[in-house]
Structure 1
Amino acid sequence: MTRMILLGLALAASAASAQAPRTSANYDFVYTYPSQAARIAPLKAWLDADKAKLRAKVAGEAAAFRRETQRDGSPFRKYDASKEWQVVADTPRFLSLSVATYDYSGGAHGYGASGGLLWDKRAAKRIEPKAVFVSVAGLDAALRKPWCDWLKRERVNRLGSASGTDDIFGQCPRVKELAVLLGSSSGKGFDRIGLIADQYVAGSYAEGPYEVTLPVTPAVLRAVKPEYRAAFVVR
Structure 2
Amino acid sequence: METRLKLGLAAMLLLAVAACDSSTPEAPKAEQPAAEAPAASAVIPASDLLIREQSEVLDFGWRMVPDVAAFPPLLAALRKEAQEALEDARAGAEEERMARGPDAPFFGHYWQQDWKVEADTPRLLSLVASTDTFTGGAHGMHYARGIIWDKQIGKRLALPDLFADWAKAKPVIEKAYCEALDRERSERRDGVKIGGEFDACPPLLEQTVTLAGWNENASGGLKVYLDPYTAGPYAEGSYELWVFPQPEVSTLVKPEYRPAE
Shorter-chain TM range is 0.7 to 0.9
Where does 1:98-177 land on structure 2 (aligned, <5 Å)? 98-133=128-163, 139-163=169-193, 165-177=194-206
The residue matched to 1:186 in structure 2 has which SS? coil
Question: Shift in Å at residue 162 of structure 1?
Answer: 4.9
Distance between the aligned counterparts of 1:90 and 1:116, measured in 2?
14
C-alpha distance 110-98 of structure 1, shift in aligned 2 (>3 A): same
Cα deviations by residue, 1:100-157 (Å, 9 ceiling, x for unpaired): 2222110001111112112211102223345434687755411233222222222221
List alignment gaps of at least 5 residues for structure 1.
1-15
User: Which AA in structure 2 matches 1:143?
Assistant: I
CA contact (8 A) 1:79 1:105 kept: yes
1:26 to 52, 57, 69: 57
Cα deviations by residue, 1:183-208 (Å, 9 ceiling, x for unpaired): 33534453211111211111111101
Question: Shift in Å at residue 64 of structure 1?
Answer: 0.8
Distance between the aligned counterparts of 1:79 and 1:136, measured in 2?
42
- Structure whose alpha-carbon radius of gyration is higher: 2
Question: Shift in Å at residue 212 of structure 1?
Answer: 1.4
Distance between the aligned counterparts of 2:101 and 2:168, measured in 1?
52
CA contact (8 A) 2:131 2:142 kept: yes
Q: Paired residue for 1:184? A: 213
**How many residues are paired up?**
215
Distance between the aligned counterparts of 2:123 and 2:218, measured in 1?
9
List alignment gaps of at least 5 residues for structure 2.
1-46
CA contact (8 A) 1:26 1:63 kept: yes
Q: Paired residue for 1:82? A: 112
CA contact (8 A) 2:176 2:245 kept: no
Distance between the aligned counterparts of 2:238 and 2:167, measured in 1?
22
Q: Paired residue for 1:230? A: 256
Q: Paired residue for 1:4? A: none
User: Which AA in structure 2 matches 1:35?
Assistant: P
Where does 1:201-220 land on structure 2 (aligned, <5 Å)? 201-220=230-249
Distance between the aligned counterparts of 1:198 and 1:80, measured in 2?
18
User: Which AA in structure 2 matches 1:52?
Assistant: Q
The residue matched to 1:219 in structure 2 has which SS? coil
Distance between the aligned counterparts of 2:121 and 2:163, measured in 1?
18
Q: Paired residue for 2:28? A: none
Q: Paired residue for 1:6? A: none
RMSD: 2.8
Q: Paired residue for 1:52? A: 83
Cα deviations by residue, 1:30-72 (Å, 9 ceiling, x for unpaired): 111111102221122112211211111111111111111126x
Q: Paired residue for 1:43? A: 74
Distance between the aligned counterparts of 1:152 and 1:84, measured in 2?
28
CA contact (8 A) 1:99 1:116 kept: yes
Q: Paired residue for 1:9? A: none
